[in-house]
Amino acid sequence: MSRIVVAVSGAVLLAAAAAAILIGPAALSPGAVFKEVLSHVPFVHIDSGLDPRQSAIVWELRVPRMVLAALVGATLSLAGGAYQGVFRNPLADPYLLGVAAGAGLGATVAIVSVGSGSALVPVAAFVGAIGAVAAAYSLGSAAGGQRSGATLILAGVAVAAFLTAAQTFVQQQNADSIREVYSWILGRLGTAGWSEVALMTPYAVVSVTVIMVHRRLLDVLSVGEEEARALGVRPERVRAAVVVAATVGTAGAVAVSGLIGFVGIVVPHVVRLMVGASYRAILPLSIVCGSAFLVIADLIARSALGPAEIPIGVITAFVGGPFFLVVLRTSRRGVM
């Protein structure tokens, strides 16, 4: 069963990646596009026959955008799955502890003060995201949250509400840049290039590695904190490591792509419904399915109403919502 799921998910990811680099407003022949991609593989010398402008469309626009969508989708899905595990809460998503609100405030402040094109926007979003989780974590711990995930979630809710209020205030005070702020908040991959990929990769690698090595311990936590303790595990230690890793990855994703919702909560659930409740299966498959989902969503976002782009956050929810309901209906198993 799960082997079939792995094979199908992998095939879907490959097909989605291929479609993402083949489809676009410029009509290019599939053969030439693949040759162009191959020509960038080290030690492969091949001529795609594309002129420099076409070649740039493939290698400077489509490919990095697809790679970034895959990286962001993988990171958000994995972070969401990991949060659902450490907090044993089906409603957990990567933005649970205030990442979205913190990044939103950071980006808004940067956009109204230096403009939406500035390289400072992702930096401010990243700092805001990390700061929000750090605040939630220290508040939650001070209130006894070290021993219970619930206090931490509540601290996250409080921090998020506070930062969202601050963000709304800043936005209202600078009504002329509302459009840019709004477009950032809905998430976009339209500006993606290799520099964004380079920015995101280290965070994705660290986050994915740390979370993946904790997947057995997430299974241990799934029997509850008391029993985990009786098995010799310190739940608060696992939680801290996973929260830090998920936060770093999410902050990186948010910095390069804005607030893309729904991926982080739905993908792990769909995977769980397919392969069961063990994080040893859920987490690696969330990486594959999350990448595929966001690559497809981005493809729809840029081609459905082409040449206009629909914000990708609209697509993830518009397509993902009904899809999730169908999966939920056809599955007889519970969500957690």
Partner 1 sequence: MSRLTAAGIGVTYDGVPVVVGVDLVVGPGEWVAIIGPNGAGKTSLLRALAGTIAHGGVVAVDGVEVSALPRRAVARRIALVAQRPVLPDGMVVSDYVLLGRTPHLGYLAVESDRDVEIALGALDRLAAGGLASRRLGSLSGGERQRVVLARALAQQADILLLDEPTTSLDVGHAQQVLELVDELRLERRMAVVAAIHDLTLAAQYADRLMLLAGGRVVAEGTPEQVLTEEEVAGFSGAHVSIVRGPGGEVVVVPRRR
Query: Which residues contact partner 1 (rule: CB under 8 A)?
Result: 213-214, 216-217, 219-220, 222-224, 226-227, 229-234, 272, 276-278, 280, 333-334, 336
Q: Give the whole-angstrom CA distance, residue 212 versus residue 235.
A: 16
To partner 1, the closest distance from the beta carbon of 138 in angstroms equals 23
To partner 1, the closest distance from the beta carbon of 151 in angstroms equals 16
Q: Give the whole-angstrom CA distance, residue 282 versus residue 280.
A: 6
Instruction: Pick the closer one to partner 1 by CB: 256 or 282.
Output: 282
Instruction: Pick the closer one to partner 1 by CB: 161 or 223.
Output: 223
To partner 1, the closest distance from the beta carbon of 94 in angstroms equals 22
To partner 1, the closest distance from the beta carbon of 222 in angstroms equals 5
Residue type, 76: L
To partner 1, the closest distance from the beta carbon of 26 in angstroms equals 46
Q: Give the whole-angstrom CA distance, residue 156 versus residue 279.
A: 24
Instruction: Pick the closer one to partner 1 by CB: 176 or 226.
Output: 226
- For residue 49, the SS3 value is coil
DSSP 44: -
- Please give the backbone phi and psi of residue 6, each rounded to the nearest 5 degrees, phi first: -60, -45
To partner 1, the closest distance from the beta carbon of 227 in angstroms equals 6
Span between the terminal Cα atoms of the chain, in Å: 19
Q: Give the whole-angstrom CA distance, residue 304 versus residue 166.
A: 35
Residue corresponding to tokens 């962001």 = 72
Instruction: Pick the closer one to partner 1 by CB: 40 or 333.
Output: 333
Instruction: Pick the closer one to partner 1 by CB: 19 or 210.
Output: 210
Instruction: Pick the closer one to partner 1 by CB: 191 or 331.
Output: 331
* Torsion sign (Cα): 253, 254, 258, 262: positive
To partner 1, the closest distance from the beta carbon of 239 in angstroms equals 14
Q: Are 49 and 35 in contact (CB under 8 A)?
A: yes
Residue corresponding to tokens 């676009």 = 24
Q: Are 93 and 264 in contact (CB under 8 A)?
A: yes
To partner 1, the closest distance from the beta carbon of 5 in angstroms equals 14
Residue corresponding to tokens 């500006």 = 191
Instruction: Pick the closer one to partner 1 by CB: 31 or 334.
Output: 334
Residue corresponding to tokens 């040449």 = 307
To partner 1, the closest distance from the beta carbon of 9 in angstroms equals 18
Instruction: Pick the closer one to partner 1 by CB: 276 or 306.
Output: 276
Which of 264, 267, 275, 261 minimizes the C-alpha distance to 324? Answer: 267
Let me know if 196 is exposed, middle or buried by CB neighbors in 10 A (0-12, 13-18, 19+).
buried
Instruction: Pick the closer one to partner 1 by CB: 52 or 232.
Output: 232
